[in-house]
Each structure stands twice: as C-alpha cells, then as structure tokens.
C-alpha cells in the first residue's frame, strides 16, 4: 500500500516536472506570440525601471536605510528590493529559500564554502549560465578572466564575483620595538625567528620586566599565521604537483618544516603558549595591549584597526607591515585566494527568460561603472566620504558608514581595477606600505590548483577530513605526536576518503 501511494506520488511528480520543463522550454524556444508581445511591451515602456529583487548577506546588525538604494535606483533606472539577511544565519536562509523555490532574481551567496555547496545545484541546471552573455556588456566583460575561471563550474560561468585582493597576508609588527633593538624587517624565515626571539628576550618595551612575546597566533591554520609562514617555507597552496600528480600540501616536506618552525617558537616561549585555543579577538587583544610584537597572517589591511586600538594602550607605538620573507631556499612566495570572496547567482526559478536575464545583467553592468560602484562602496560623496588626491577618504563618523553603506559595500561586483571605483585614501604609513606589498605579493603568488577543479568526495566530506589534518598539525606543533605520528594521521586521512579526493582532483586536473 505504501509502495503504491509512493509510486503514485512519484508519477504525479514526474508529470508535474515534465509539464514544468515543457513550459520552461516554451518560454525559451518559442519566440512566436508571447515573445513578440513581450518585445512590443518592452519597446513601449523601455523607460520604465526594471524591477529587481536581490538577496544578500548583511554583516552589520541593522538593515541599512534606503539612502543608498534611492540614489542607486536613480542612477540605474531600476526599482530595487533588497532583502538583507544576517550573515550568521545566511546559509540557512539560502537553503530554505532554495527549498521553497523562493530565491529572488539575484542571489548572493555568502562565501567560497557556500559556493562549493551550491555546485551540485548549479550542475543540475538550477541557475542561468551567464558566460555567453558577458561579451554583450562592456563593463562586465572587463572582469578578470583568471578569477572568472576560478568560479567556473564544469568549465561554464554562472556567476559574477565580488573581488578581493589576491594575497593580503603578511606581518603586522611593532616597528618601534624593531628600531629599538636595531632589527630590520625580517628578510627570511630565520630572521623572522630571531625577531620573535629578540622581542621576547630583550625587553623591547623597556619596562625591565620580561613580559613581552614575539609572535601572537590563534586557533586557525589558514587565516592565522600557519599558512602564510608555510607558503614562505615553500609549501604549495592547498595542493601541489609532485611526480606529475596533485598531492595535498601536508604531504610535502615544507609543511613539516613549517610545523617544526612553530614548534621551536612555542617551545622557546617566543609565541603565545595557548595559540591552539586562542580566538581571533584574544589574539588581537594581545597585540593591541602591547604584549606581542608580531601579528602574522590575516590581512595586512587590518593594520588600521590594530593601530587604532594599540595607540590607546601604548600611545607612542609605531606599527608597520611586511610580507617579503624568503624561505630557506632564498625564494619568495605567497599563497593566493581565488580572488573572490563571494559570488552572485541568477536562479532560473525567478528569471523567466533571456530578456529578463539581460535586463538584470544590464543593471550589474551599470554597477560596474565608477559612478555606481563608488556610491555602493563608499557611499554619497560629501556625506560618507570625500575625495582627496583622487582617492576616497571615508568620514570620521564610522557608525554612519556602518549603518548606511556597509550593507551595500560587500555586494560590489569586481574590484577597483575593473569597476573604476576610488582606491582608499590612507594616511597611516604602515597601511600605505601594505597596499604596495599587496602588489608585490601577487608577483610571487602561488594559486591553489584545485580552485577551479571539482571533487565529489571533497564536497561531501572534505571539511570533516581536513579536521584530522588540522588536529594532527596542532598535536605535532605541541609535541604530542612526532613525524611518524603525523604521517599516520595522513594515512588515516587517505583511508577515510582522502585517496578518493586525490584521485578525483587528478582526474579533473588532467582534463
């Protein structure tokens, strides 16, 4: 009985879906009556604003007022409905909207991870492929091909990306301490170690108490210090080629060298002892309270906020940034992100036909003009920012920006090189230095070869498996396991699905 009703249900479902696809096919393939009707209608009201619904994550606590939106609508001739949802629970919102078929025409994801999770649905044809249309739009076609390539799914482009500098990582350090101890910025990993040692042992704050440490790190292998230092040691970014095959980074000897480096630092007391349990907040606090001298990893652009909080505690502190640290072989290297921190997708369930898709893409094309992207990224000139030396200087009223602009800021397509928006006007020397270093970083940048590749096993349990390696890495650095113990964990990783991931990535790599 149960079986019977189930098969009936299935049959009903099937009929329904066939009907639906038929309808869909109709809309697309038959350009007869309805399409012409649509065209004439469009011709008649071509000045009427396009109505667009946009769903996106919100990184502030309040929904922004319509100040920016109103300007945006005027500039782009649209009628926009922004649906902001808190970033903390955005994944849930995304999934439930998806499950109920209520995704709006423009759907922002949250980050790379949500994008990977969405890949299944993309392959299933739930979203519009936009690749073929890009060339019709002068501004959208400026988007960087290498980054677009990283966002492709099975070689096809479905999304626009929100750009981020490729490699922002480096060191933020106490220049005043270094000057006092006659140290230059570390040129290689040995000098980095020496600096951590000197900052710990030579009383750089001059209070005659041994109360300072060198490096402060936190419980995060990727955005903490580990991965950045690891790339200086020459470890590949995520995956590297060995004997003509892609292998995960932790099978490379340089990875072990990096672990040894941190083990030595910790054993000697040159870094915070509890780094495996230290949150970002606590790590930052150790730096801004004047207790630690080297903040590694993260973004060098964070120097602004670190500096601001540090001089509250240590008024005469000087900070600087640095990222050119050579490995033991004398070579520079820096790992790079895939160049985007979020993407936008266009669900087929909300966009009926090509004409509508093009109208929406036209809106994004306008978003990539300097005028519109400045409005969204910086706000209204004279209210939220002023222009100095051709760069944007945000107003002192940080709260105003947070409230009115931040919500839109995170949704700007492309980056200033492609959309022509203002670069930030910086006054802090360390920050200006950081901006120069970002460009240097890219020159020696190491991409992750698996970024555009696909592995079903990785999508299914990559995160869970990575936990094995993360735990083993910390245990090694804390001296709880030795090299043999670490290798045993790598075997464990392989046995529980890692082998399959290697296999799948290599298969995709060779294509």
Partner 1 sequence: MQEVTAQASTAQPVLEASRNKNEVKKRIWRNRWLYVMIAPGLLYFIIFKYLPMYGLIISFQDYKPYNGIMGSNWVGMKHFNRLFTEPDFLNILKNTIVLFGLNIFIYFPIPIILALMLNELRGNFFKRIFQSLLYIPHFMSWVIVVSISFVMVTMDGGIINDLLVFFGFEKINFLLNPSWFRPMYIIQVIWREAGWGTIIYLASIAAIDPGLYEAARMDGAGRLRQIWHITIPAIRGVIITLFILKIGSVLDLGFEHVYLLLNSMNREVAEIIDTYVYTAGLRQGQFSYSTAIGFFKSVIGLILVMTVNKISKKMGEEGVY
Look up residue 117 and give its two tokens.
Answer: 């999770």
According to the binding rule CB under 8 A, does residue 369 interact with partner 1? no
Judged by beta carbon, residue 423 or residue 464, the one nearer partner 1 is: 464
Total residues found in the chain within this entry: 511
Tell me the C-alpha distance between 294 and 138, whole Å. 45
Look up residue 257 and give its two tokens.
Answer: 């060298």
* Residues 101-120 interacting with partner 1 (rule: CB under 8 A): 101, 113, 117, 120
Least distance between partner 1 and beta carbon 290 (Å): 12
Least distance between partner 1 and beta carbon 85 (Å): 16
Spell out the alpha helix ranges (H) of 268-353.
280-288, 303-313
* Residues 28-57 interacting with partner 1 (rule: CB under 8 A): none
Q: Looking at the DSSP assignment, which residues form a beta bridge with residue 162?
A: 342, 414
Least distance between partner 1 and beta carbon 483 (Å): 18
- Applying CB under 8 A, the span of 90-98, 135-143, 157-165, 242-250 interacting with partner 1 comes to 90-98
Least distance between partner 1 and beta carbon 118 (Å): 9
Tell me, rounded to whole angstroms, the distance of Cα 329 from its chain centroid. Answer: 30
Least distance between partner 1 and beta carbon 155 (Å): 21
Judged by beta carbon, residue 35 or residue 314, the one nearer partner 1 is: 314
Cβ contacts of 415 within 8 Å, gap of 6 or more: 144, 163, 164, 165
Tell me the C-alpha distance between 295 and 214, whole Å. 9
Least distance between partner 1 and beta carbon 240 (Å): 23
Judged by beta carbon, residue 144 or residue 197, the one nearer partner 1 is: 197
Q: Which residues of 346-374 are buried (b: 16+ CB within 10 A; e: fewer)?
A: bbbbbbeeeebbbbbbbbbbbbbbeebbb
Indicate which single residue of 71, 91, 440, 503 sits in contact with partner 1 (rule: CB under 8 A).
Answer: 91
Indicate which single residue of 21, 26, 36, 95 sits in contact with partner 1 (rule: CB under 8 A).
Answer: 95
* DSSP character string of 50-79: EEEEEEEEE-SSS---THHHHHHHHHHTEE
Maximum pairwise Cα distance, the chain: 87
Tell me the C-alpha distance between 248 and 235, whole Å. 10
Residue 425: count other Cβ atoms within 10 Å of its Cβ.
16
Here's the x/- map for partner 1, 245-284, by CB under 8 A: it reads as: ---------------------------xxx-xxxx-xx--
- Residues that bind partner 1 in the complex, under the rule CB under 8 A: 9, 13, 17, 91, 95-96, 98-101, 113, 117, 120-121, 124, 126, 211, 213, 219, 272-274, 276-279, 281-282, 286, 291, 459-464, 467, 470-471, 473-475, 478, 480, 496
């Amino acid at each position: 009985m149960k079986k019977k009703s189930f098969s009936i249900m299935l049959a009903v479902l099937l009929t329904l879906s066939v009907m639906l696809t038929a309808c869909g096919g109709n809309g697309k393939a038959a350009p007869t009556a309805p399409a012409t009707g649509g065209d004439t209608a469009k011709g008649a009201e071509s000045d009427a604003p396009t109505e667009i619904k946009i769903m996106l994550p919100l990184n502030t606590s309040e929904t922004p007022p319509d100040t920016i939106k109103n300007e945006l609508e005027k500039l782009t001739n649209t009628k926009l409905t922004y649906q902001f949802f808190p970033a903390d629970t955005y994944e849930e919102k995304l999934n439930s909207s998806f499950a109920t078929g209520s995704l709006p025409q423009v759907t922002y994801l949250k980050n790379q991870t949500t994008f990977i999770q969405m890949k299944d649905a993309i392959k299933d044809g739930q979203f519009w492929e936009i690749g073929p249309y890009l060339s019709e739009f002068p501004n959208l076609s400026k988007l960087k091909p290498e980054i677009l390539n990283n966002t492709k799914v099975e070689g096809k482009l479905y999304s626009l990306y929100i750009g981020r500098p490729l490699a922002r990582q480096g060191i933020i350090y106490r220049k005043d301490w270094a000057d006092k101890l006659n140290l230059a910025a570390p040129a290689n990993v040995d000098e980095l170690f020496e600096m951590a040692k000197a900052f710990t042992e030579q009383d750089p704050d001059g209070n005659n108490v041994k109360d300072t440490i060198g490096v402060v790190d936190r419980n995060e292998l990727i955005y903490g210090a580990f991965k950045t230092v690891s790339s200086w040691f020459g470890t590949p970014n995520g995956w590297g080629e060995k004997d003509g095959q892609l292998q995960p980074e932790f099978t490379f000897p340089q990875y072990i060298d990096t672990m040894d480096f941190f083990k030595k630092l910790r054993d000697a007391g040159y870094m915070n002892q509890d780094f495996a349990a230290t949150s970002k907040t606590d790590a930052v606090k150790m730096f801004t309270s004047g207790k630690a001298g080297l903040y590694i990893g993260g973004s060098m652009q964070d120097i602004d906020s670190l500096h601001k909080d540090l001089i509250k505690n240590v008024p005469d502190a000087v900070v600087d940034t640095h990222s050119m640290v050579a490995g033991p072989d004398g070579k520079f290297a820096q790992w790079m992100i895939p160049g985007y921190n979020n993407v936008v997708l266009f669900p087929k369930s909300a966009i009926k036909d090509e004409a509508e898709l093009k109208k929406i893409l036209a809106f994004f094309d306008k978003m990539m003009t300097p005028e519109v992207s400045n409005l969204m990224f910086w706000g209204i000139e004279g209210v939220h920012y002023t222009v100095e030396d051709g760069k944007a200087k945000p107003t002192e009223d940080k709260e105003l920006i947070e409230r009115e602009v931040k919500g839109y800021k995170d949704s700007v397509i492309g980056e200033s090189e492609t959309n022509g928006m203002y670069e930030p006007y910086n006054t802090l020397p360390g920050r200006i230095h950081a901006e120069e270093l970002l460009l240097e970083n890219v020159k020696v940048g190491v991409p992750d070869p698996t970024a555009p590749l696909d592995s079903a096993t990785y999508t299914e349990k990559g995160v869970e498996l990575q936990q094995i390696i993360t735990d083993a890495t910390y245990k090694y650095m804390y001296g709880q396991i030795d090299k043999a113990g670490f290798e045993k964990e790598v075997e464990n990783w392989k046995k529980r699905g890692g082998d399959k991931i290697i296999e799948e990535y290599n298969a995709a790599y060779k294509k």
